[in-house]
Amino acid sequence: MLFLKSTVAPVAPGVYAVDVAAKPPGKTFMIYAAVDAAAPPESFIAAVEAIGFKQVLTKPYTHNDGTRVVDIHFQKPGTDIFEGWTNAEKDANLAAMEQVFAGFSISVTPRVMSLAEAFR
C-alpha cells in the first residue's frame, strides 16, 4: 500500500500517487497506484493496461481524511526466469511507462526496494 499524506493534491485527475518499484535485484518493476475509489481514473488504468500490465491486487480503504482510495498493483510478466524481465524488456517497459505517465503529467523515478520492504 502506498503511504498517502493527503488526498488534497492528486498527481493527476483521480490519481493520488504512483510508485514504480522492483524487488531486488531490480530488473522486474511493478506499478503501484493509489486512485480515487469514487471516480476511478479509467483512462489512466486503461493506458497502463495497454502497455501490457495487469492488475494483480486491488485493495480499497478509507484514508484518514475520509476519502475512499483504491490501491492497485500492476505487474507485467517477462520472458526471463520466473517471468522476470530481461535487460531489453526492462529498458522497453520502463520507456513505455515513462511515456504513459508523461501523458498524464506524472513524474516517477523507478526504484529498487530494500530487502525489508520487498519481503515483509
Express each pLDDT in 24-75 by its tens digit: 888 999 999 999 999 999 999 999 999 999 999 999 999 888 889 999 999 9
- DSSP, collapsed to helix, strand or coil, labels residue 111 as strand
Express each pLDDT in 2-27 by its tens digit: 666 777 778 999 999 999 999 888 89
Contacts of 115 (CB under 8 A, 6+ apart): 24
- Report which of 47, 32, 33, 36 is spatially closest to residue 14, judged by C-alpha positions: 36
**pLDDT above 60: residue 1:** no
CA 1 to chain centre: 10
DSSP H/E element including 18: strand 15-22
Predicted local distance difference test score (pLDDT) of residue 4: 65
**Spans of all domains in the chain:** 15-106
What CA–CA distance (Å, rounded) separates 55 from 58? 7
What CA–CA distance (Å, rounded) separates 66 from 46? 26
Express each pLDDT in 93-112 by its tens digit: 999 999 999 999 999 999 99
pTM score > 0.85 for this model?
yes
CATH architecture of 15-106: 2-Layer Sandwich (3.30)
